[in-house]
Amino acid sequence: MKDDALNWFEIFVSDLDKSKAFYEAILKSELVKTPPSEHGCEMAIFSFNQELGVGGCLSQAGESGKPGPGGTMIYLNVEGELDAVLARIPAAGGKVILERMSIPPHGFIGIFEDLDGNRVGLHSMS
């Protein structure tokens, strides 16, 4: 087993195109949409460093995953942009649940709710 606990994450969504636009708007980063799998799963992949092996996507997965609150909490790295990302969330249709909060000595976090009610964390050291 590798030392890294995380190598992939999926945020389940009900409308991939709307959710892709939401995350692109708040993160100012393009997601890459993949063709549907043989099981009908569609994904939009976040930009990631393949050498580090940590990545993730939005997933419209049908019965294998449902969007909504109470699921797994993931934190997206928004280094140096935490306040800017939090400020863009309401205009993109999401809801800020937790404004910038200090977590010494590990930096700062914020939490938001996306278009499907998924709660997602943001992390920055500054």
How would you write the pLDDT of the chain (126 residues) with one tens digit per residue? 445 666 788 899 999 999 999 999 999 999 999 988 777 789 999 988 777 768 888 998 766 677 877 667 889 999 999 999 999 999 999 999 999 999 888 899 999 999 999 999 999 999
Stated pTM of the model: 0.84
Domain that holds residue 73: 8-124
> H helices within the chain, ranges in order?
16-27, 82-92
Does residue 109 sit within a domain?
Answer: yes
Residue with tokens 């935490």: 82
What is the tally of structural domains in the chain? 1
Does residue 3 sit within a domain?
Answer: no
Residue whose C-alpha is closest to residue 74's, from 62, 59, 87, 61: 59
